[in-house]
Amino acid sequence: MGRVLSVDAGVFEQWMQRSLAACESALDAFVPEDAPAGLGEAMRYAVLDGGKRLRPLLVLATCEAVAGHAGAAMRAACAVELIHAYSLVHDDMPCMDDDVLRRGKPTVHVKFGEAQAMLAGDAMQALAFEVLTPDEADSDMAPALQARLCSLLARSAGHAGMAGGQAIDLASVGKQLDECTLRDMHRRKTGVLLQASVMMGAACGDISLAARQALSDYGAALGLAFQVVDDILDVTQDSTVLGKTAGKDQDANKPTYVSVLGLEPARALARQLRDDAHRALAATGLRNTAWLGLLADMVVERDN
């Protein structure tokens, strides 16, 4: 599928670096240093100075595409990253995936102990919704927008989304899943939060129902593509490149797109989903979607 992009890679990189720096600064301000008994240190270790920040980038890029409320979008970007970071802290714990490496450094439970890791995750989850509901004196976000953003984030993180997907993942160890069941698991565990990132950015602006649905379709395709590529990288890259333990899904006998489809069909699926994402962007009728298109390309072409 041919695509014409309106900006070059250098301009996109500059936009990403500006956005990442602004998001890092906002997170640094939101995540407390002085939470009691070392809790703040564990929270900041978990969320600052690391990660691709794909979810915040999706929020900010979509907000730009819909000419939305930039201040609300930055709060939404930080909130979704806090939810993502909390999920990683809990997923890495011995009762879940039992991993020791995340973002190229020891996982939070290795660094601070299991109890502190559990509390840090709990606190970051709560902080995400605090960030989305500022006092009137601190923000001009309308209550209706605050409520919409909270709803989108809560639904993506709960039983119908990320938590439900993790439950299916844990229950599927050692089992053979068909592609439909695998897709549903990963849609919940990974895809829904990425899709919600797009829809939170969209909520910051005023667009038609058709454009909103097309953005939702874009987010769904990109979210699934991200997980397919993750499964591919788990068997094709080493831990140094990934920043996390390579081959752990295979070692744990977990079903993945590679184990169900094979490596080359999984790569073909990732490319198909990228093209689906671009088609959805074209269907939005919005003019300023270049960042979103390039983010879809980045998701599929990444090596970590």
> Over the stretch 226-268, which tens digit does the pLDDT of each residue have?
999 999 998 888 777 666 666 666 767 788 999 999 999 999 9
Plot region of 107 (φ>0 → left; ψ -120 to 50 → alpha; else → beta): beta
Report residue 105: phi and psi, to 5°: -145, 165
CB 118 within 8 A of CB 171: no
Q: Work out the average pLDDT over 137-157.
A: 94
What pLDDT, on the 0 to 100 scale, is given for residue 244? 61
Q: Work out the average pLDDT over 76-90.
A: 97
| Residue 3 or 45, more confident | 45
Residue 36 corresponds to which tokens in the numbers above?
A: 């009691």
What pLDDT, on the 0 to 100 scale, is given for residue 72? 97
Q: What percent of the chain shows pLDDT beyond 70?
A: 93
- Structural domains in the chain? 3-301 (1.10.600.10)
pLDDT value at 4 more than 50: no
Specify the DSSP class assigned to residue 285: -
Within 8 A by CB and 6+ apart from 29, the residues are none
pLDDT value at 191 more than 80: yes
- Measure the CA–CA gap between 127 and 158, rounded to whole angstroms: 16
What pLDDT, on the 0 to 100 scale, is given for residue 281? 98
- Measure the CA–CA gap between 299 and 16, rounded to whole angstroms: 14
pLDDT value at 6 more than 70: no
pLDDT value at 1 more than 70: no
What pLDDT, on the 0 to 100 scale, is given for residue 3? 43
What pLDDT, on the 0 to 100 scale, is given for residue 266? 95
> Over the stretch 265-283, which tens digit does the pLDDT of each residue have?
999 999 999 999 999 999 9
The count of C-alpha atoms lying within 13 angstroms of the C-alpha of 63, restricted to the half-sphere facing its C-beta, is 22
- Measure the CA–CA gap between 185 and 197, rounded to whole angstroms: 19
What pLDDT, on the 0 to 100 scale, is given for residue 253? 77
What pLDDT, on the 0 to 100 scale, is given for residue 110? 97
Q: Work out the average pLDDT over 151-174.
A: 94
pLDDT value at 5 more than 50: no
Q: Work out the average pLDDT over 32-60.
A: 95
Please tell me whether residue 106 adopts helix, strand or coil conformation: strand
Residue 155 corresponds to which tokens in the numbers above?
A: 């639904």
What pLDDT, on the 0 to 100 scale, is given for residue 189? 93
Helical ranges in the chain per DSSP H? 9-30, 39-47, 54-65, 70-91, 108-112, 114-131, 143-157, 162-171, 179-186, 192-203, 209-236, 239-242, 248-251, 257-261, 263-284, 290-301
What pLDDT, on the 0 to 100 scale, is given for residue 84? 97
